[in-house]
Amino acid sequence: MAHLKSGLSRIAVASIMTLSLVACGEQKTEKSDAAKAVGPTVAEATAFISDAEAQLEETGLYLERVSWVQNNFITQDTNLLVAEADKKYIQLGVALATKAKRFQNMEMPADISRKFTKLSLALTLPAPEDAAKTEQLATIKAGLGSVYATGKVTMDGEEKTLGDVSDIIASDRNPERLLEAWDGWRSIAKPMRDDYAQMVAIANEGAKELGYDNVGTMWRSNYDMSPAAFASEADRLWGQVKPLYEALHCHVRAELSDYYGDRVVSDSGAIPAHLLGNMWAQTWGNIYPLVKPEGGAESYDLTKLLVDKGYDAKKMARAAEGFFTSLGFEELPQTFWDRSLFTKPKDRGVACHASAWDLDGKDDIRIKMCTKVTGEDFSTVHHEIGHNIYQRAYQKESFLNATGAHDGFHEAIGDMIALSITPDYLKQTGLLETVPSADADIAILMQQALDKVAFLPFGLMVDQWRWKVFSGEATPETYNKVWWELREKYQGVKAPNERPADAFDPGAKYHIPNNTPYMRYFLAYILQFQFHQSACEQANWEGPLHRCSIYGNKEVGAKFKAMMEMGARQPWPEALAAFTGKREMDGSSIVAYFAPLKVWLDEQNKDRSCGW
């Protein structure tokens, strides 16, 4: 408050001086120059950003609570409530960012300057100052999210949810039935396209008012480097891991062609998307039985182990908590267990997409997850609780710094822990009686690669598509065409049928209608292996990287926690260096992890025509 008074006094003095000059007959140009000389002070800038953080925290946490209710009780009324709360948060963000322009180009301490940059990037989708457009943006956002969350597919004479048709994609081997489920889910997205295009237009107006070319440029500005430099960084990282992906793609395509026949899967070109075991073909672990290595020791079935040991949703979450406490982190608060959603309710519609929540910026942390007792969800619950552990670690930071070093860090934390779910760990925790011999390593690595390596190009292309949408390179009429061009370019995956002219297949992926930036996941898949390799080196592990588990290592945990506690207080290279000793993201760790599998894949592929 003293800083504000000082600033106001200085302005008042300047005004009095100006009046005196006019009274004395001085030139108007001199008056103008005197007024211009009085700029904002560092004290005023510091006070402004502190007040802005307080307002954003109060409004943001209220939006978080309303969103929690809406995600758990999806009705027209809760949609309206979350749209209203979102509108107020957007309006506040726009107003503060606009007022912050007063402090542009002034010298100030690095930590304050960093917060001003973060303030301009605080909204994922900014709105222009026009109140009507802000309200329209919030209404469209809530509506798109609701369409996705409540989508139903008619199959077998009954309505099926996303979970139901995803189960078909995961387990059925009839290509016609797979296509029916795949196509059915994409039909729910058709009505989204026009609203999505309108939302993009409004958000681009808001981004331009904040000084960005478009929303895509704004998103790429969130990584402590220029937007162009970040795009180049993503390409560099993809270049490091692309040969590993190409080897996996070649083997999987050949095995699927053998299984389904050349009529369904050619032994050249892109793979039809409906055959890869996942609704979006982003991970391929569910088709492991079709592509698994022949010979050698068998791997283990984590789903079967969990079922046989009587695990349920809460017991899986307890296992994830136990891994973090073994590293020295505190137990989750009782409110986590009382207030989280662990399984899908039978009496109402909920948004089943797994997510982690921070409702008070302190200890009211929760997950929302329609958990199934599967190996995949066992990893997912580690991932979500990893978010909660990170949220709790940086809770002492101020609002704009109370987040991950960048968004890829947040996604990588829990996944890095999941890499330590090794056979040795499973034996230590009583899930596995006998650790498989080294002969099973290729099978174990294949299972992981079908999820981890297969995901990489999908993680990259989702925002590549949005960047084109925000820049106008992709228009509403070409949204779908550009989507599949990018999927073929990066993934070597194609649509299994001729897509309708009005199709909006991107909308069938949660993160598109819900406006969650996706590059974070690509970066997370790079970082989790970099974290894992560094952690294993700190633990003095000498065996193969894929056999290393840091379970119970409190020294590694303490260093990991120290990095997490930094939040976004410093540029992400500083946080990365605090744990790994390196200031650059590096895809070589994932290559090192899967090195034995790459040798095996190259041997299998030597007489095949790879690429697409």
pLDDT 10s digits, 161-170: 999 999 999 9
Q: In 3D, which of 590, 581, 520 has the Cα closest to residue 240?
A: 590
3 is catalytic: no
Q: Is the pLDDT of residue 13 over 70?
A: no
Does any domain span residue 175?
no
Packing angle of the helix pair 375-393, 407-418 (nearest 10 deg) = 130
> From the centroid of its chain, how far is CA 350?
20
What's the pLDDT score for residue 272? 98
Does any domain span residue 462?
no
Dist. CA 304–CA 373, nearest whole Å: 9
Catalytic annotation, pick one of 53, 321, 384, 411:
384
Quick one: the chain helix, strand, coil %, rounded to 5?
A: 65, 5, 35
pLDDT tens-digit series, residues 359-398: 999 999 999 999 999 988 999 999 999 999 999 999 999 9
Does any domain span residue 89?
yes
On whether the CB atoms of residues 305 and 431 are closer than 8 A, the answer is yes
Q: Is the pLDDT of residue 24 over 70?
A: no
511 is catalytic: yes
The total of structural domains in the chain comes to 1
Packing angle of the helix pair 441-471, 595-604 (nearest 10 deg) = 90
Dist. CA 554–CA 561, nearest whole Å: 10
Does any domain span residue 332?
no
Query: Mean pLDDT over residues 328-355, rounded?
Result: 93
Does any domain span residue 283?
no
What's the pLDDT score for residue 296? 65
Dist. CA 309–CA 82, nearest whole Å: 41
Does any domain span residue 124?
yes
- Higher pLDDT among residues 21 and 192, named by residue: 192
Sequence-distant (6+) residues with CB within 8 A of 418 are 379, 382, 383, 528
Does any domain span residue 93?
yes
**CA distances (Å), origin 378, targets 42, 80, 305, 321:** 49, 34, 11, 12
Which amino acid, one-letter code, is at 227?
P
Q: In 3D, which of 378, 384, 412 has the Cα closest to residue 530?
A: 412
- Higher pLDDT among residues 23 and 400, named by residue: 400
- Higher pLDDT among residues 447 and 8, named by residue: 447
Packing angle of the helix pair 554-565, 375-393 (nearest 10 deg) = 60
Catalytic annotation, pick one of 383, 406, 511, 546:
511
What's the pLDDT score for residue 23? 33
Average pLDDT, the chain: 91
Does any domain span residue 162?
no
Q: Is the pLDDT of residue 221 over 90?
A: yes
What's the pLDDT score for residue 376? 87
Which amino acid, one-letter code, is at 524?
A
Q: What is the largest CA-CA distance in the chain?
A: 99
Q: Is the pLDDT of residue 8 over 50?
A: no
The predicted model scores a pTM of 0.87
Number of alpha carbons in the 13 Å side-chain half-sphere of residue 34? 19
DSSP string, 277-293: SSTTSS--GGGHHHHPP
pLDDT tens-digit series, residues 142-152: 999 999 989 99
What range does the domain containing 58 cover? 2-8+35-130
Q: Is the pLDDT of residue 438 over 90?
A: no
